[in-house]
Structure 1
Amino acid sequence: MAQIFLCAGVILLASLMTCHAAISVTLDLEPADHGQLFNLENEDGSVILSGHIGRNLETPDNLKATQNGSCINFSSIGTELNEVLEDCIDFGDAHWYGGPEQSRQYWPLDNVTFSEYSYVTKSQDNQGIAERYWLSSAGVYIYVEPDVPLFIDLNNHVNKSICFIAKSSAPYLSTEVPQLKYKVCASENAKEAHKNAVLDVLGKPEGYPDERMITHPIWSTWARYKRDINDSVIVNFANEILSNGFNNSQLEIDDQWEICYGAMTFNKNKFPDPKNLTDTLKSMGFRVTLWVHPFINILCDPWLTEATDNAYLVYNNTGNTTLTTWWNGIGSAIDFTNPEAAEWHVTRLKNLQEEAGIDSFKFDAGEMSWLPQPPRLDSSSYPYPDVYTHSYVNAMSSFGSMIEVRVAERSQNLPIFVRMLDKDSNWDWNNGLKTLVTTLLQMNMVGYPFVLPDMIGGNGYEGAPSKELFIRWLQANVFMPSLQYSYVPWDYDDETVQICKVYTDLHAQYADVIINLAAKAVQDGSPINPPIWWIDPSDETAQTISSEYLLGENILVAPILDEGAESRDIYLPQGQWHDELRNEQISGPTWLRNYSVSLSELAYFTRVTTVNVK
């Protein structure tokens, strides 16, 4: 047996030195079934993570130590195109977090399963974020390098395990020999591991989004009107918002304002004078934003012809077509890995801004699955398709801190809102209200603190939300970074209007707290809305809570997420807590069983004393 230990980031020979660090890494190089085994162990010898390398390593030369925690890097390159590389890691008794955004967003990942699942941004399962990062309650993180043609098995062969599979198969190009590169890093606890990951692999934002978008609601035409919009509809919408006493950050004109998709030209039958419309809205106190996308549909000329003639579009791998089907028809996608194409698209948007008086944009799409498959991109330095998402978001970020995008890939540095993918107007785990909190946690814990929750009440694809769902959705949203309305309180009754005013105002009252936390995220990469175990990473009960979240480290929110419920169990971790609903002090850790919460109430708690937990 050969062994390697990591002590404070220094490789030591086991036969010569004794390791006194809290974490040691042991690699067993004796052959096992189809490869080798390795363990991460505490100094007392207890195993916190085990792995199986799916091929034989004769030497440990590919292992390295890094300064941020105790890490071991694995790197393998295939010898032929059709080779499949696979390593598996056993999660043991630990709980795991992170991974992709999903429509069924469970937290933690203990009961989630994937089978050879392509790890790219895609419309399937609402996977708008696919960061290759997983975090363990035992203080371990795993990061897979971006140039790996990655598929994953999760809890598929053995419960609580993940397998990383590298193979040159669709949606990846089949012209590259596969390689599998990842690192496993151990720290004192999950919080310290994540802080190290921010420094080492995730990065932190360079600034934060527009403060007015944080403070006051965004009002969108989408869910309430869908595509049935015109000049008078939007002015009437603005008048309703003001007459009911609500503030705003901006009013967003959503789908079907163009003469054809990709024209970036207003339909004059619906919007005879766009500049007059935006001037009217601005005189009413609104900023105006516009829904846009990266597609040009067939027959949308002369713009499609211009893009085709200049090779601005994404082709499939054979170079035979640029056509792809997206939710609004058949068209082509701009290739943002081509700098000239990106600049052409940005210039057209800027011209539209100036001509129509548009303040900013809601950027839709960006998943690689909307491209012709498998996509052939202009990028020569990075052959894998998620570079499209990365390039698209980077190009659109040039429009400043007032934008929103719905996809992200290695984009943690950008000072912009990343929106949750469209939520459905239901209560359950099928992309409904229960996933609002878990998606918030997932996004924060893969490095995106500037979360724009989807519209209050969901998108209503199968009917508008009930009054109860609408109110509970707003309450769950209050301590998240921004509010976004489309369905409106006055479509229900006066009681709904009054309740929504209370919680919309409550969000504005805490806007300074959110802004300060956004500034802290810029400083050190801290999540704005972490899971409640962030206060005490050793708290095994807190590690499994999926229906509560924090604002910073001193506000805990426990919304009602079940239809018809007027009570719930609430868990408070360590510390002295002030119950803002009952106006009383509570010592944690403790459960509050059958805590009563009427339809007009939201349970939240402020921490009045802290605990000495890193």
Structure 2
Amino acid sequence: MKFTDGYWQLLPGVTELRPRQVDEVVAGDDTLTVYASTAKIEHRGDTLNRPLVTVSFHSPMDGVVGVTIEHFRGGLERGPRFGLRREVADVKITTPQLNGAPLATFRSGPLEARVATDGDWSVEFVADGRTLTSSTARSVGVLTDADGRHFVREQLTTGVGEHLYGLGERFGAFVKNGQTVDIWNADGGTASDQAYKNVPFYLSDAGYGVFVDQPERVSFEIGTEVVSRAQFSVEGQSLTYYVVAGPTPKDVLRRYTALTGRPARVPDWSYGLWLSTSFTTDYDEATVTHFVDGMAERGLPLSVFHFDCFWMRQFHWSDFVWDPATFPDPEGMLARLKAKGLRICVWINPYVAQRSALFDEGKERGYLVTEADGTVWQWNMWQAGMALVDFTNPDAVAWYQDKLRVLLDQGVDCFKTDFGERIPTDVVWHDGSDPQRMHNYYTHLYNAAVFELLEEERGEGEAVLFARSATAGGQQFPVHWGGDCESTFVSMAESLRGGLSLALSGFGYWSHDIGGFEGTPDPAVFKRWLAFGLLSSHSRLHGSSSYRVPWAFDDEAVEVTRLFTRLKLSLMPYLSQVGRRAHTEGLPVMRPMVLEFPDDRGAAAVDTQYMLGEHLLVAPVFSAEGDVDVYVPEGTWTSWLTGEQVVGPRWVRERHGFDSVPLYVRPGTVLPVGAVDDRPDYVHADGVTLHLVELPDGHRSVTRVAAGSGADDALFTVERTGGRVRVEAVGAPGAWAVQPRGGARVEHRGDGAVEIDL
């Protein structure tokens, strides 16, 4: 939201209070509070009728400094609030009395806030002797607009050549400089400035991040109100934000996800190919069986089958009852599908249609969101008379979970938690939450309720969702997918930008509808999207009004599906470990180039490719002809599919058939490749081949590979000295091999070591 007319003047009707002079600094055990008057104080009389702005500093963990800006403090403390993790931080505080300088400092680990106590308002955030960003004399504002609404604003400086990223799953330009972004969840598809997943966090390639700890609408002006500053504001009398130290983008994400929650570990089976009934298509058990058997007959490995909305009766969503006209024997059908080696996913949402028996049950028990007079809130969107489950009520959560538990007992393995964005703000919540703050946060409660049920019933590491909406902290409940995209190359590219932005917002796993959701893709679009989708964290064939089985397009689509599905499954020893780092460190599986190469200015704005983990570069092809530009960072990169090499840093133009895609291995890589390519959940270490790619002299690395349920990972230590490589295995459950790129394959069995000449 903008408040100024140019740089010097306020918009008509807007008034502003700014901290002008520090009156007093108060140091607590682990807090620093600064009281600043809104005008210069020359004598005692100047304090009359003079507002104060209070700015306090605190820290939830090392390397994270929190700032709270307050005007009036008498308001009600209404939730919700983000559930932040807190640790004992190494805090050091000094004041002018202690350091003999016109400066108060608040240090948390490597990050220090330096507050000028003399002269104009100034706060510098410093790490390793370098100012990361700062709040200047015109940055902090307590504002009132022409309608009498109150706001608090902060503006943090940005430097020359600095790029900002994140703010959730945003489908526009990947670099957020020059954009106005409102953090407000909306069901707007992937082609506008609206987003399903809004996260009030941005990451800077200058070595820090900023998280605004406000679940309501946060308005960001990234270099738009003042071109050299990132502005954020909220309606009300206070604003809290955190500066998160680096120094690298990976370090920022590690700290940010430690604060807001790390992604859960997902099961290996979820990495396989998911096939859906699609949305409004006609289907029954015969249709589903035809699809499943058709995939098997064509050698297309399938891991999960998904039933979309109309597994339930029309006008009854969501009552979690199978449509008896279409699926008269759901338990038997699910058992027959599971006997084919499949997992089962079903679509759900948090609404209850009036025709459903659950509506009366929820109304009677007080489990549905109400208006101020106690009337159940309803609308006719999607299904007639829909009401909304109140997840702020613990009894309503348990009630909703019990309905889903019946499905788990029938054989369902996971849920697609759709919707969660169009949450009303004129309602009353069971726990008294502020409706404005609950609008974005509702999806967090919704996904948490379903995910926690799955962990309870299936066990930790076996729970997985396919969720559309989220806010800060939602990364704890994976997986998320990109929502309703068009079936075009342009939409394929905008979907990737959304995933890259989400990755820099703390989310570890991400997927999208292969071929696009709306409409029916041209066969060329579908085949190009297949390579992109099957080299993503998670892979799903899903559409709106048409099926997405590959043979519905052409014979070549079948071949392309087979090729890239089997390629992905063979990479499971690698992908599983990348996913584990998402869980333990908060680093995403699909990584923007800037995350891996923060010092390469050529990588800063690249948004048409990504790193799949640390070692594989993927550049989806966005044209039928197959022309693609690839940015190759420094070093000698090797094509995984052809063995050809490219030396960077530079852009290269390539042309690829539908059975190919730029897939490059980073120099200095030990890439573990599995012996199985028809399912994702196998013992990855048994029969694994370690591919050695451009290892430099002096290279030493340890590669972890899963060794089976209940067993510790197998560890493979690889060292190169001159032209000789030594590989030592510990915990290997069976045979394994070493394959120098372009050299002879060397096999081994069990623990021990092998030495080879390159």
Task: Settle same-fold status: TM greater than 0.5.
Answer: yes
Q: CA deviation at 1:485?
A: 1.4
Distance 1:412 1:10 in 2: 32
Distance 1:552 1:309 in 2: 50
Q: 1:269 to 1:582 in 2, by over 3 A?
A: closer
- Check the 8 A contact 2:464/2:477 in 1, yes or no: no
Question: Partner amino acid for 1:336?
Answer: F
Counterparts of residues 220-369 of structure 1 (less than 5 Å) = 220-222=276-278, 226-259=280-313, 260-300=316-356, 302-317=357-372, 319-354=374-409, 356-367=410-421, 369=422
Partner of 2:661: 602
Q: Deviations over 1:500-534 (max 9, x none)?
A: 21111111111221111111222222222211122
Select the residue among 225, 249, 252 that pairs with 1:157.
225
Partner of 2:712: none
- Check the 8 A contact 1:191/1:537 in 2, yes or no: no
What are the ranges of 5 or more consecutive residues in structure 1 without an aligned counterpart? 57-75, 169-177
Question: Percent identity among equivalent residues?
Answer: 22
Distance 1:315 1:353 in 2: 30
Partner of 2:465: 403
Partner of 1:65: none
Query: 1:271 aligns to what SS in structure 2?
Result: coil
Query: 1:583 aligns to what SS in structure 2?
Result: coil
Question: Partner amino acid for 1:359?
Answer: D
Partner of 2:601: 540
Select the residue among 512, 527, 534 that pairs with 1:454.
512
Select the residue among 161, 170, 174 that pairs with 1:107.
174
User: In the alignment, does 2:486 pair up with 1:424?
Assistant: yes
Q: Deviations over 1:11-55 (max 9, x none)?
A: 4557647999997655456787xxx45455687877755554333
Q: 1:127 to 1:310 in 2, by over 3 A?
A: same
Question: Partner amino acid for 2:167?
Answer: G
Partner of 2:495: 436
Question: Partner amino acid for 2:388?
Answer: A
Query: 1:480 aligns to what SS in structure 2?
Result: coil
Select the residue among 212, 216, 222 that pairs with 2:269.
212
Q: Deviations over 1:91-114 (max 9, x none)?
A: 343111110223x34211124333
Q: CA deviation at 1:273?
A: 2.0
Alpha-carbon RMSD across the aligned residues, in angstroms, is 3.4
Question: Partner amino acid for 1:184?
Answer: V
- Check the 8 A contact 1:363/1:406 in 2, yes or no: yes
Q: CA deviation at 1:425?
A: 0.9
Distance 1:16 1:553 in 2: 47
Q: CA deviation at 1:311?
A: 0.8
Q: CA deviation at 1:447?
A: 1.4
Q: Deviations over 1:370-390 (max 9, x none)?
A: x33333222347762133222
Query: 2:607 aligns to what SS in structure 1?
Result: coil
Between 1:266-275 and 1:603-612, the stretch displaced more is 603-612
Q: 1:90 to 1:325 in 2, by over 3 A?
A: farther
What are the ranges of 5 or more consecutive residues in structure 2 without an aligned counterpart? 1-20, 26-33, 35-56, 58-62, 66-89, 456-462, 543-547, 670-695, 700-758
Partner of 2:426: 374
Question: Partner amino acid for 1:436?
Answer: S
Distance 2:665 2:589 in 1: 15
Q: CA deviation at 1:310?
A: 0.8
Q: CA deviation at 1:132?
A: 1.6
Q: 1:365 to 1:553 in 2, by over 3 A?
A: same
Q: 1:161 to 1:478 in 2, by over 3 A?
A: farther
Q: 1:112 to 1:499 in 2, by over 3 A?
A: same
Q: Deviations over 1:392-418 (max 9, x none)?
A: 111100213143222223445635312
- Check the 8 A contact 1:548/1:557 in 2, yes or no: yes
Distance 1:151 1:46 in 2: 25
Which of these two proteins has the greater Rg computed from alpha carbons?
A: 2
Question: Partner amino acid for 2:287?
Answer: V
**Highest RCO, 1 vs 2 (Cα 8 Å, sep ≥ 6):** 1
Query: 1:560 aligns to what SS in structure 2?
Result: coil
Between 1:251-260 and 1:4-13, the stretch displaced more is 4-13
Query: 1:403 aligns to what SS in structure 2?
Result: coil
Partner of 1:578: 638
Q: 1:496 to 1:342 in 2, by over 3 A?
A: same
Partner of 1:59: none
How many residues are paired up?
559
Partner of 1:505: 566
Distance 1:190 1:296 in 2: 42
